[in-house]
Amino acid sequence: NAGVTQTPKFQVLKTGQSMTLQCAQDMNHNSMYWYRQDPGMGLRLIYYSASEGTTDKGEVPNGYNVSRLNKREFSLRLESAAPSQTSVYFCASSPRVYSNNSPLHFGNGTRLTVT
Amino acid sequence: DQQVKQNSPSLSVQEGRISILNCDYTNSMFDYFLWYKKYPAEGPTFLISISSIKDKNEDGRFTVFLNKSAKHLSLHIVPSQPGDSAVYFCAASRSNFGNEKLTFGTGTRLTIIP
């Protein structure tokens, strides 16, 4: 039982390059999320998907796009990477989103550096 | 504007003693609070939560206390063990919302000294 799997673990991009971060969960959760973690700041929500076929913006969506490919997979795309997008990205899932009592299950993160 | 604050970036505690991690919040609408624990190179994992209708919730060695009037919560770990060395994040949300409005603190790195 892998839980939430993110690929790649590390990535270095040049400014302007594009890439897609992949995330898959095997817990049959309805809701999936993308967060970024920066030094001195808490985890901040980029986008989330309440259920298959829906996506919504979080706190910091600018510069990103997402795709909920199916119930298991939720990808995050950077179309034109900028140095400000250097961060650690976490994917998470939960049984449902619109509930307090539905703790998040996180992947192990992708460390992205944009030069 | 940091609505959830963890003012101690780090804390060192002797093994076997009590660890107390603190968290303050400014938004009086927050009424559900969680603690997540994170090891290096791993994602955070859920530890314990508390609703504002309670002032204490206990799970084994972990107890969370909520002081609504002071807008303050704390996580107590008794006794502290080496495996508790990690970064602890406090998070808060509001009624009628869920994870889409979850606000995280900046984390406190706990080191347990053997």
Q: Which residues of A touch B45 (CB under 8 A)?
A: 105-106
The verdict on A113 touching B (C-beta cutoff 8 Å) is no
Report the pLDDT value the prediction gives residue B100, as an integer from 0 to 100: 81
- In this prediction, residue A1 carries a pLDDT of 62
A33 in B contact zone (CB under 8 Å)? yes
By the CB < 8 Å criterion, does B53 face chain A? no
B86 and chain A in contact, CB less than 8 A: no
Q: Which long-range contacts (CB under 8 A, 24 or more apart) does A79-82 make?
A: A79/A18, A80/A16, A80/A17, A80/A18, A81/A13, A81/A14, A81/A15, A81/A16, A81/A17, A81/A18, A81/A19, A81/A112, A81/A114, A82/A15, A82/A114
Query: What would the pLDDT profile of B52-73 be if each residue is shown by its tens digit?
Result: 999 999 999 999 999 999 999 9
* CB < 8 Å from A in window 18-37 of B: 32, 34, 36
pLDDT tens, position by position, A69-115: 899 999 999 999 999 999 999 999 998 777 777 889 999 999 999 99
pLDDT at B104 over 90: yes
